[in-house]
């Protein structure tokens, strides 16, 4: 335990701070839920939840997420000059103020750390919040999902339209961006810049962080949980810094377990689409098929697969997984329309059939035995309404060992 965490805990004890009694819900990787009040982290690497006087202990490798009820959100540190949102390669999303930067580092002011200088090699992208048009934000979100391996991408507004330039970032400063395009260094003022997506390179993808903590200002901080009591969580960030997060500020902690892998992190061996009419729909990773955030009946998801009927996604597996878990339904972009059938086959045999799923149905959690299969097919078939509104989501789709 770090010195800052020890001091924070003793401060709560000395001041007689009452333990947080906000209800919390823990979800296991199989989809089982445990509700109660947060107790803290045990020395053995498990979390404890008080269920009316009885302690429920869940090992962290068995956890998918812990969530707290949504309360009124607090404003991010965006207030003031030079507002920015930084997206780190580990999944962190940090609202902040831009203090300065060059071709190697960027200096920020954040609510959790204060002044923070970080290497650009750890940054996936930066978005200027001064440009708020929905078209601009959608273009940035799409570019962030599909970064180029060898060049940076600068998104800017030009006569009200989104323009993309590929090149190298020379500097990110409060006065604007300097971007090298076609051997020229171009200055871009902040009111025209939408954001920059940095080249991802061709090296191995970094391992996902053990935990991602979402706060009440919308920020996401990734790292590993070092300790916790009834009032706070101490998180060691991927970059090495340690921050103490008061429990009332937490909205969700999502865990990455060695026991599972998300299908959105895998490349399908085969994609088949059979159109009912003339429209050809792609499959999308962590987005709906219409390229929106994944949402089913108002519930949002950061991971999953978006498809349209009729689609077959085939995955080649190594025979080590025993279960498939997901939450299925029609995406909010099409509801209340939509009528499909979700099916799962393994090694050529059907192991799950949802029956009709419509745009009026609630999100449906599924847990399907896959018996150490070598081949897995996720199928979305036509339902009873041709293909009208058949925007289907496999949310949080994951394989479990």
pLDDT digits (tens, 9 = 90+) for 349-371: 999 999 999 999 999 999 999 99
Average pLDDT, the chain: 88
Residue 241 included in any domain: yes
Number of domains in the chain: 3
Residue 362 lies in a domain: yes
* In-domain check, residue 94: yes
Give the C-alpha separation, 153 to 144, whole Å: 9
Q: Assign 246 a pLDDT band (cuts: 50, 70, 90).
A: very high
Residue 25 lies in a domain: yes
Q: Which of 255, 271, 294 is the last residue of a domain?
A: 255
Please give the pLDDT value at position 242. 93
Give pLDDT, residue 11.
34
Confirm whether 345 is domain-assigned: yes
In this prediction, residue 20 has a pLDDT band, given cuts at 50, 70 and 90, of low
d(CA 353, CA 344): 7
C-alpha closest to that of 293 among 146, 381, 395: 395
216 closest CA partner among 332, 350, 74, 121: 74
Tokens of 83: 């507002």
**DSSP letters along 126-160, please?**
EEETT---HHHHHHHHHHHHS--SSSEEEEEEETT
Please provide residue 10's backbone torsions phi and psi, each rounded to the nearest 5 degrees. -65, -30
| Choice among 17-21, 201-205, 393-397 with the minimum mean pLDDT | 17-21
Let me know if residue 216 belongs to a domain: yes
Q: Are residues 225 and 173 located together in one domain of the fold?
A: no
pLDDT at 3 over 50: no
Band (pLDDT 50/70/90 cuts) for residue 202 is: low
- Residues 220, 116 share a domain: no
Question: Which is nearest to 359 in space by CA: 380, 382, 379, 333?
Answer: 333
**Amino acid 138: pLDDT:** 81
Distances (CA, A) of 269 to 95, 375, 383: 37, 9, 26
Looking at the domain assignment, is residue 2 inside a domain? no
Instruction: Give yes or no: residues 246 and 336 share one domain.
Output: no
Is a pLDDT exceeding 80 seen at residue 1? no
Q: What is the pLDDT of residue 203?
A: 64
For residue 240, pLDDT over 60 is answered with: yes
- Co-location of 42 and 62 in the same domain: yes
What per-residue confidence (pLDDT) applies to 9?
36
pLDDT of residue 12: 38
What pLDDT score was predicted for residue 124?
Answer: 94
Are residues 282 and 320 located together in one domain of the fold? Answer: yes
Give yes or no: residues 242 and 294 share one domain: no
Q: What is the model's pLDDT at position 52?
A: 87
The residue with greater pLDDT, 19 or 272, is 272
Q: Which of 178, 197, 216 is the last residue of a domain?
A: 197
For range 173-196, the mean pLDDT = 90
Residues 380 and 270 reside in one and the same domain: yes
Domain CATH for 355: 2.60.120.1060
**Predicted model pTM:** 0.83
Same domain assignment for residues 101 and 48: no
- Asked if residue 389 and residue 275 are part of one domain, the reply reads yes
Q: Are residues 182 and 225 in the same domain?
A: no
For residues 147 and 175, membership in a common domain is answered with yes
Summarised one tens digit per residue, pLDDT across range 285-343 is: 999 999 889 999 999 998 999 999 999 999 999 999 999 999 999 999 999 999 999 99
Helix (H, G, I), strand (E, B) or coil at 165: strand
Residue 5's pLDDT is 43
Same domain, 290 and 391: yes
Per-residue model confidence (pLDDT) at position 274: 94
Give the dihedral sign, CA 116/122/124/125.
Answer: positive
pLDDT band at 106 (very low <50, low <70, confident <90, very high): very high
Range of the domain at 127: 83-197
Q: Is the pLDDT of residue 54 over 80?
A: yes
Q: What is the CA radius of gyration of the chain?
A: 23
* Region 194-207 average pLDDT: 80
Examine the fold and report which residue of 177, 197, 217 is the final residue of a domain before the chain moves on.
197
pLDDT at residue number 82:
79
**pLDDT at site 155:** 93
- pLDDT greater than 50 at residue 14: no
**Apex CA 219: angle with CA 214 and CA 222, to 5°?**
60
CB 341 within 8 A of CB 350: no
Q: Tell me what the mean pLDDT of segment 171-188 comes to.
A: 91
User: Residue 184 falls within a domain, yes or no?
Assistant: yes
């Amino acid at each position: 335990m770090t010195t800052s965490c020890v001091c924070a805990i003793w401060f709560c004890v000395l001041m007689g701070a009452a333990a947080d009694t906000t209800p919390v819900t823990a979800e296991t990787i199989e989809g089982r839920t445990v509700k109660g009040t947060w107790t803290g982290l045990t020395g053995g690497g498990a979390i404890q939840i008080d269920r009316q006087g009885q302690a429920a202990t869940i090992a962290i490798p068995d956890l998918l997420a812990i969530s707290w009820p949504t309360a009124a959100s607090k404003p991010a540190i965006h207030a003031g000059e030079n507002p920015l949102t930084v997206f780190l390669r580990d999944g962190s999303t940090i609202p902040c103020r831009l203090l300065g930067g060059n071709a190697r580092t960027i200096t920020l002011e954040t609510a959790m750390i204060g002044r923070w200088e970080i290497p650009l090699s750890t940054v996936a992208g930066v978005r200027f919040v001064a440009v708020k048009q929905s078209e601009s934000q959608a273009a940035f979100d799409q570019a962030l999902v599909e970064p180029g391996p060898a060049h940076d991408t600068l998104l800017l507004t030009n006569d009200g339209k989104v323009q993309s330039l590929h090149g190298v970032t020379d500097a990110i400063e409060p006065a604007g961006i300097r971007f090298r395009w076609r051997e020229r260094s171009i200055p871009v003022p902040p009111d025209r810049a939408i954001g920059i997506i940095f080249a991802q390179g061709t090296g191995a993808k970094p391992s996902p962080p053990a935990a991602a903590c979402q706060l009440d200002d919308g920020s996401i901080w990734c790292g590993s949980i070092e300790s916790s009591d009834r009032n706070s969580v101490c998180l060691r960030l991927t970059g090495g810094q340690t921050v103490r997060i008061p429990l009332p500020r937490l909205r969700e902690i999502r865990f990455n377990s060695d026991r599972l892998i998300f299908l959105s992190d895998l490349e399908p061996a085969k994609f088949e689409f059979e159109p009912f009419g003339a429209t050809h729909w792609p499959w999308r990773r962590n987005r709906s098929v219409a390229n929106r955030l994944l949402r089913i009946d108002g519930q949002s998801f950061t991971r999953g697969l978006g498809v349209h009927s009729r689609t077959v996604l085939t995955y080649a597996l190594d025979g080590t997984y025993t279960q498939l878990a997901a939450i299925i339904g029609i995406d909010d972009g099409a509801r209340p329309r939509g009528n499909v059938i979700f099916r799962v086959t393994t090694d050529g045999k059907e192991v799950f059939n949802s029956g009709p799923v419509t745009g009026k149905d609630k999100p449906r959690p599924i847990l399907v035995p896959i018996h150490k299969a070598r081949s897995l097919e996720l199928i979305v078939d036509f339902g009873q309404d041709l293909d009208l509104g058949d925007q289907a989501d496999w949310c949080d789709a994951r394989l479990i060992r």
